[in-house]
A = this chain, B = another copy of it.
Amino acid sequence: MPLITTEAQLAEFSLAPGFRASSTACGLKKSGSRDLLMLWADEPCAAAGVFTTNRVQAAPVLVDRDALASAAGRIRGVVANSGCANAVTGERGMTDAMRMQAVAAAAVQAKPEEMLVLSTGVIGVFLDMDKLKRGIATLHGGGTAASSTHADAARAICTTDTRAKVASATVALSGGRVTIAGFAKGAGMIHPNMATMLGVITTDAAISPEALDRALRAAVSESFNRISVDGDMSTNDTVLVLASGLVGCVAADEAAFTAALAAVCKDLARQIARDGEGATRLVELRITGAASEPQAHRVGDSIACSPLVKTAIHGNDPNWGRILAAAGYSGAEIDPARVRLWFGDADDVQLLDRGLPVAFDAARASALLQNDPCVIHLDLGLGEASATVWTCDFSAEYVRINADYTT
């Protein structure tokens, strides 16, 4: 599974059959970069979404929840902007998000509730509706400023991302070979245990909204909900999946479809963690021997959020005591006398054996921390459950990026 999307992969990227896309720069980003996109199908789609569990939810999150509740079987598309999150904007923010939805829906002859809305960028700023409406007008009509490549759509959703993130998979089901293809954005304000950041995934499978919802929740639980960049949960996190229904998908294939969807979600999630603000490598935390999977996840999450662990990895410093300390304060069940710890994809160097420090080759341990991905394996010695969590190292560049974002 790749850690980044190369330019060559991006150039070849295509959404699932049945979907079109258009994107432009409508002026929301001061940089003049691409900041608006729409993707849509000509026929109604089944759709499902998972959203942030933050108590402070952005207007587009509230709008999408309503739309899916009323029209999950006949969604036509998604309109998305970067450069402004439309979060903590009160009633005016809700009105703006609904206008954005209605204008985009009208462009494809759909009803407002058949269009989903995504926004990402600075919190507490109102959308510039004039720029947005002018931008949407160029998207579907094919204004000269708009691009119809799916790669450009993936680029238009990005903010502090250093690169666009796309992923796709095909899976042979009884009704035919189904494609699952999507893109995501996110580099800061990324934290597990939620429906994280922005992701849009398309498929040509014929599937009911209910089955699609089940598949998405299962896929997200082991992908987007298993990554952390900085422990900060966003107000806008959303992952949407739209199914155009061109290829038959029978109920008996749900497990195979879910597995393929999970692979695409995991691919995108790992790319997000790898592209974490200021990150120089992906960190894969394998927690095994836990009493239960939620306990394993909790331990991995705690380590993934520890600034001390993440700075040590950045410095190639095998200061493993910080990993133990983070496991210890996770709230999960831990018996220090049973814990074992290794660095490396093949458990190459052992640092701790049943609670006791192991004499290890510091140079070799340090070299393993420099791998991308850098793999850390913690066995709790309590049971059979496991979970893998992805994060990134923590660099001074993270501070530089975030100390001066709005000003």
Contacts and interface: CB of A to CB of B under 8 A. Distances in A.
A402 interface: yes
Interface string A228-243: 0011111100000000
B352 A124 contact: yes
Contacts of A123: 319-322, 324-325
Interface in A287-345: 305-308, 311-312, 314-322, 324-330, 332-334, 336-337
A77 to B, nearest CB: 28
Interface stretch (A83-91, A130-138, A174-182): A83-91
Nearest to A362: B407
Contacts of A125: 357
A121 to B, nearest CB: 10
A89 to B, nearest CB: 7
21 contacts: A54-B325, A57-B328, A87-B321, A88-B324, A122-B321, A123-B324, A123-B325, A230-B306, A231-B305, A233-B325, A233-B329, A311-B402, A311-B403, A312-B402, A312-B406, A314-B399, A315-B402, A317-B407, A395-B399, A396-B396, A399-B399
Given A307-B232, A320-B124, A328-B55, A314 B87 contact: no
A406 B318 contact: yes
Contacts of A148: none
A357 B89 contact: yes
Nearest to A305: B231
A57 to B, nearest CB: 8
Contact of A329 (B191, B333, B395): B191
Q: Is the contact region of chain A dominated by helix, strand, or loop, or is it mixed? A: loop
How many copies of this chain? 2
Contacts of A92: 356
A245 interface: no
Contacts of A314: 399, 403
A312 B55 contact: no
A315 B88 contact: no
Interface string A70-114: 000000000000000101111010000000000000000000000
Nearest to A121: B321
A124 B188 CA distance: 32
Contact of A54 (B89, B311, B320, B328): B328
B407 A315 contact: yes
Given A231-B231, A231-B306, A318-B407, 15 more contacts: A56-B328, A57-B336, A85-B321, A87-B325, A88-B357, A90-B355, A90-B356, A90-B357, A123-B321, A123-B325, A189-B308, A194-B329, A312-B402, A316-B407, A398-B399
B232 A55 contact: no
Contacts of A407: 315-319, 362, 366
A400 interface: yes
Listed residue (A230, A336, A395) with the most chain B CB atoms within 10 angstroms of its CB: A336
Contacts of A333: 55
A122 B318 CA distance: 12
A97 to B, nearest CB: 15
